[in-house]
Structure 1
Amino acid sequence: MIQTLDLLSITFGNVAQGERTASYRAMPDGSTSDIHILAIDYRGFGRSTGSPTEEGLILDGISAVDWAMNIAKIPSSRIVVLGQSLGTAVACGVIEHFAMRKIEFAGVVLVAGFTDVSNLLTSYSIAGWIPVLSPLRPYPALQKLFISYVNDKWPSTSRLTNFVKISKRVRLFIIHALDDYEIPWYHSQGLFAAAANGTMESGIDMGLLEKMKARNTVDMGDGAFISIWKTGSDKIIRQEIVAHGAHSTVLTYAPLSLAVFKAFGLDNGGVMP
């Protein structure tokens, strides 16, 4: 009997844009008879009508999961939620929503994510070349003023902490490329720290977190590394920073399909390289 597994892909842009279609082929790594991919254009993107808002995009992601579970009849335990770029923020909102309802997934994969909008705007560069608010770094008050006019905050770190804290089982994979010039890779450091913080009842000191993380980090060369955070409970957080892949091409690389396989438990439960 073939076990049907479902991968919900939530990415920035349209479902057929750029490397998207190539990534859909790469994600299952040839195991197309077992893994099915559900990719969505949320409101305001592709052929979807409406205007994108934080609340609306998260609702679209929730609706996609509801469809997979209730119409396609895929149990949540056989669903992996994957988000890239803005899609990571949508994914964080989606998984927190379901965790609060005691619904857990096989795994969550976040690729090229960001911590929140305020940090994103001060570091983001359009196409890797045109900075948004980073030129205003010498003027923090002015930066703060501009950010205050942004309605959607996308607090991924707090959502991720809450998701990990209230979930009984977590398989979280965070992937980012060092040469991502649109969203710098250090945003994934913040996401990892937020997730790790959620494994501790009263939080964890950042200095202690860094020491504990260093003991479970493998140097992959050229600045790349893999870090594992595993608590006594059934919660595993895996961060992989790769040397190359830019902002979107990383979707087609092996670490992504490996994360999907690990999330589904198709690697016999291994978490280290």
Structure 2
Amino acid sequence: MKDGDVIKWRFLAKNTVIAEINVKADRFTVYDDVPDGRFRDRLKLDKQTGSLTITNITIKHAGCYDLQINRVRKIFSLNVYAEISVMEGDSVSLNPDLTEMKDDDVIKWRFLTKNTVIAEINVKADRFTVYDDVPDGRFRDRLKLDKQTGSLTITNTTMKHAGEYELKTNSDKPCFCLFCVFDDSVSVTEGDSVSLNSEMKDDDLIQWKFENTVIAVINKRADRFTVYDDVLDGRFRDRLKLDKQTGSLTITNTRMKHAGHYELR
């Protein structure tokens, strides 16, 4: 910041000033009770740079923010991401964090992995629609909409439902992306082989991780199947095999040191 700067931070979804700086007057002000208290006790201003920090974010804070320094403007678009884990076969609810929908709300749920709208709500027209036959029938008879909150529930989940989901509304215009992660528990006797299953399509990029370290990568389009069996002290050396049809990973001659958390991305 410079000595004569006047800075305003505005939350554009509500067209509301949420923070203001007047360097010459040494005034640093946050308006965290506007527009509806969603920023209460969450805003912090940096007195050296004028940067604005929002703590403990929720979907209500997603949207566009306008920074005005004297006559110069800059727009920030904030997307809020969440991650949930679910056991295969269970139900999962994607919650837009709306206590109650408004009369003019239009809500769309999109499965970003396939860039496909899977549910839509138009409150004024009293339309609550699920498109469960797209993109390939993986959601058939599995989608339910809550008419009070707009929440979307997916029942009887499988690995095919893992991925990114996006919520868009016409009011606050947030983008809510949710990564669904499916947990599966596998037991094996020491010395046996174990296969971690996957399903693969022609253009897939697949990554297998063990305790946050990449141990195998597949680029189906480039026909590349790579195992990194010398990582993590060589515990996987000569033990990893990739199935070129499915992308499944097999660990042979298992030991206690192979127990842990594996992630398929």
TM-score over 0.5 (shorter chain):
no
Query: When the two structures are superposed, what TM-score results if normalisation uses the length of structure 2?
Result: 0.25
Greater RCO between the two (CA within 8 Å, min separation 6)?
1
Greater helix share, structure number = 1
Greater strand share, structure number = 2
Query: When the two structures are superposed, what TM-score results if normalisation uses the length of structure 1?
Result: 0.24
